[in-house]
Chain A
Amino acid sequence: MINPADLLEPLAWSQSTILCLLVLLLPLFSFIVIAILPNTQAKASAWVGMFMTLIASIISVHLLIAGWQGAGIHSRVEWFSFGHLPPFTVGVLLNDPALLMLVVVTVISFLVHLFSTAYMAGDAGYKKYFGFLGLFTFSMLGIILADNVLVIFIFWELVGLSSYLLISHWNHKESAIKAAKKAFIVNRVGDVGFIIGLAILWSQFNTLDLEALKVLMQASTIENGQWIAGAHSVSLPWLTAAGICLFLGAMGKSAQFPLQVWLPDAMEGPTPVSALIHAATMVAAGVYLMARVFPLMSIDALTFVAIIGSVTAFMGAIAALAQHDIKKVLAFSTISQLGYMLMGMGVGAYDAALFHLFTHAFFKACLFLSAGAIIHALHDYAHRADIHFDAQDMRNMGGLRKYLPFTFIAYLVSTLALIGIPFFSGYLSKDALLSGAYAWADLMSERTLSWHYLVPDLGFITVVLTALYMVRQLLLVFFGDFRIADERSIEANIKVKDVPWVMKTALSILALMSFGFIWSLNPLNHSLSWFLSALKTPTILVPGMNGNWQNNLVELAEHNHMQVTVISVFMIVIGGLVAWFIYRPKGKYAINYFSRQGASNVWQWLSFNNWYLDEIYNDFIIQPIEVLSQKLQLLDTKVIDNFIDKFAIFNIILGHLTAWVDRNIVDGLVNFSVYFVGRVGLMTKSMQGGKVQSYIALAFVGILIFIFWIIW
């Protein structure tokens, strides 16, 4: 038996881990500095934030280069302890995924800072914005570095907080505040699951340190349907429940079905925030969490993850089809892509999922920042043309490639990456994912026809849909005529101005990262990617696990690879062609697009309203809870209080009753006896009338009584 306390000895700090801490604390420092900066120094706040994240990025890159493919580095200290339980530790656990995430987060954060200096210029909440960006970066880095599931959860929540604060940046906008609230609360729903997951692990192992958990998990056994770890045992389903519960947390943060509803609304935040938080980093935290706890997930839990992931991928893609808001399309696309990643996790394609996380982080950030650039340009345009229109609505765009050529290129590159065209990064990662999924279905179903094939099938359908909606967006935004100018007949000399160079810098770096050769020397074969070959899929350590399962999976995936590539490229082509056919410039759809209202048929409505999830939640969860809370208020005031009041009134009545009894019966008795004595006194006094005869009479009465007494 393993004593958990032995696994929790403090581990010395090395140079790398101290640097990690530095990376972690720099954004926090930025937050604090900005918080205490006076309001007049708003400009300085951007510089502080940028400077800090730049340094953090440089250190991260250094760490990545130094630590890549090294043994994981783990340093920790004791944080606090409970009674005689093993101490609670906190520390830094560096491994390859963590190093990569470190770079991704710091770099994208830096680029977003850079982009924001232009995008947010002149905003009233400029200082606040950069402060919260610092806070967010800090929390996100915390998730990445933490060696302890509880500490991950702590930063998990802080990330949620900074997301809340950034979504509600424009806090005079009702919709922004509501979106922020929704994001936080929906995330909380997932977090409850996360907490339960923590509780299950804690009650089995009495520690939440990841490394210790792995050792203890491996040492735990299954006997007679009981999952036994040391002295603790619970029934077996809790083993799977632990995995599913942890995944619930990921579901919230990564916007998986059925908790994906918050992400489209979160687009109310400033666009760079959407790029950083709601596309590249925070939403990927769920995937990263799954990667961190991957060895602790049982096969059943992973299957659940795979199903949810594939369903979300499909649903998100469908929902993206009919949107008119440029950011909404990207938001649903993000949901869909996150579904891919989690599907990858679920099917055991750990490396592919992480790979997709990284590639997606860059091209989606690029897409969002491009969208931000477009919105920025259109805002500027609206200001100069002195008209009001929704700068995010694609119905008001069109033909923008003439005005924003650089943005168009960035957008194009990242779109191609997103749909998975060969030579772009998305192709590699998506291919890996799909082959993994296909292999998993083969393995699980043992090559018989079973529902397991639905998972990769949904993935393939999503490929078509992705091509469809992205090409649609590309066509509607950059091709055709500039609809708002045409419709409002704006003078031709007022043109959309190109965006400033800072934005272009950020876009170019991100777009560069979307090319396949960055990630693999052979941009056609993901298995040759330096990334995938370096990343080792950790062994699942859950007891009762067939050790060959993962190996078989890898073999099958290799075997399926070519098939999958052909099918997916074919799918993309179909999707692209269909999109071109429907949404081509001068086509029927494009011509009538400006005056298009929402959607025209049931399917479009379903898509446009994101499967009516919001309405369903509103009607079946939020409203009932509100009603319940009102009713409980009534219960409290009308029933319990009423009961108490009635009880009090009853007591008062009882009091009056006893008072009456007191006055009339108890007091009455006393009064009566007094009265009686008084009367007797009066009587005897009257007998004492000074009349001798009366005395005699009474004397005889006495004698008589005496005689009677003697005789009888």
Chain B
Amino acid sequence: MVVLIEIPFYIFSGLAILFAGVILFTKNLLYGAFSLVGTFLCVAAIYVLAQAEFVAVTQLMVYVGGIVVLLIFGVMLTNKITDKGIITSSYNRFLGAIIAISLFVVLFYGILKINFGAVKGQSADMNNVNQIGVELLTEYLLPFEIAAVVLLIALIGSSVISGYKTKETDE
């Protein structure tokens, strides 16, 4: 039982970090975008392993289906297509590495210091999608609605921002 969960976790988490690493180290935007997809997929798998199936599905739909596509569009729209591929470089590498590594060290240290045995709670029904649905429309109704509004506003806002016909840019 332990092994059954642990092995996929290690595999998916390893893959997720691997893909994330590709994003970090690649110069090609498209590689980055596709690696991101990979990462998202792996993270979705992790969600599943953490008994958050609904979240995993949402992850797949929103991220892999929506955001990544959006990003790839962004890549396409902001770069001239050439045969060399869409190349970007990086800077601040040293600083970035130091910050990232030291932050990781700090977090790692902090995590190790937490005694997670103390927070063991009771386990519940394996399938909690139903419960999510109920709670979403009862207890979390207001945030749900607001999220919808936020999404709408974001949609309108983004189309306004990226719209061509703004006076200032024309002039």
Contact = CB atoms under 8 A, between A and B. Distances in A.
Direct chain A–B contact by Cβ atoms under 8 Å: yes
Interface of A: 693-694, 697, 700-701, 703-704, 707-708, 711
Contact of B106 (A693, A694, A697, A707): A707
A693 B102 contact: no
Nearest to B107: A707
Nearest to A707: B106
A703 B110 CA distance: 14
Given A711-B109, A711-B110, A697 B102 contact: no
Nearest to B95: A697
A693 to B, nearest CB: 6
A703 B100 CA distance: 12
B97 to A, nearest CB: 10
6 contacts: A694-B95, A700-B99, A700-B103, A704-B102, A704-B106, A707-B106
B106 A711 contact: yes
Interface in B60-115: 92, 95-96, 99, 102-103, 106, 109-110
Contacts of B102: 704
A701 B94 CA distance: 13
Contacts of A701: 99
Contacts of A707: 106, 110
Given A697-B99, A707-B106, 15 more contacts: A694-B92, A694-B95, A697-B92, A697-B95, A697-B96, A700-B99, A700-B103, A701-B99, A703-B103, A704-B102, A704-B103, A707-B110, A711-B106, A711-B109, A711-B110
A707 B92 CA distance: 22
A708 B92 CA distance: 22
Contacts of A693: 92
Contacts of A703: 103
Interface residues of B, number: 9
Nearest to B110: A711
Contacts of A700: 99, 103
A397 to B, nearest CB: 125
Contacts of B109: 711
> Looking at chain A's contact residues, is the secondary structure mostly helix, strand, loop, or mixed?
helix
Nearest to A691: B92
Interface of B: 92, 95-96, 99, 102-103, 106, 109-110
B101 to A, nearest CB: 10
Contacts of A711: 106, 109-110
Contacts of A704: 99, 102-103, 106
A684 to B, nearest CB: 14
A238 B102 CA distance: 103
A708 B96 contact: no
A263 B32 CA distance: 130
B49 to A, nearest CB: 29
Nearest to A700: B99
Contacts of B96: 697
Contacts of B103: 700, 703-704
B23 to A, nearest CB: 15
Q: Would you list the 10 A-B pairs with minimal beta carbon distance, nearest first?
A: A700-B99, A697-B95, A707-B106, A697-B99, A704-B102, A704-B103, A697-B92, A693-B92, A701-B99, A697-B96
Contacts of B95: 694, 697
Nearest to A703: B103
A708 B106 contact: yes
A294 B109 CA distance: 120
Nearest to A699: B99
A703 B103 CA distance: 9
A660 B109 CA distance: 52
A278 to B, nearest CB: 113
A694 B92 CA distance: 8
Among B99, B103, B110: residue with most chain A CB under 10 A: B99
Nearest to B106: A707
B85 to A, nearest CB: 23
A697 B92 CA distance: 9
A701 B102 CA distance: 9
A622 B113 CA distance: 105
A140 B93 CA distance: 117
B88 to A, nearest CB: 13
Nearest to B90: A693
A708 B99 CA distance: 13
Contacts of B99: 697, 700-701, 704
B28 to A, nearest CB: 19
Nearest to A689: B92
A697 B96 CA distance: 7
Nearest to B99: A700
A508 to B, nearest CB: 134
A711 B103 CA distance: 13
Nearest to A696: B99
A700 B95 CA distance: 10
A421 B110 CA distance: 143
Contacts of A708: 106
Nearest to B100: A700
A708 B109 CA distance: 11
A711 B105 CA distance: 12
Nearest to B96: A697
A368 B157 CA distance: 145
Nearest to A694: B92
B74 to A, nearest CB: 17
A647 to B, nearest CB: 60
A197 B99 CA distance: 104
A693 B95 CA distance: 11
A292 to B, nearest CB: 114
A700 to B, nearest CB: 5
A694 B110 CA distance: 26
A697 B102 CA distance: 12
B62 to A, nearest CB: 25
Contacts of A697: 92, 95-96, 99
A701 B95 CA distance: 9
A704 B96 CA distance: 13
A693 B103 CA distance: 16
A707 B103 CA distance: 9
Nearest to A687: B95
B99 to A, nearest CB: 5
A694 B103 CA distance: 16
A148 to B, nearest CB: 107
A707 B104 CA distance: 12
A701 B106 CA distance: 12
A175 B109 CA distance: 115
A439 to B, nearest CB: 127
B112 to A, nearest CB: 12
A711 to B, nearest CB: 7
A703 B102 CA distance: 11
Contacts of A694: 92, 95
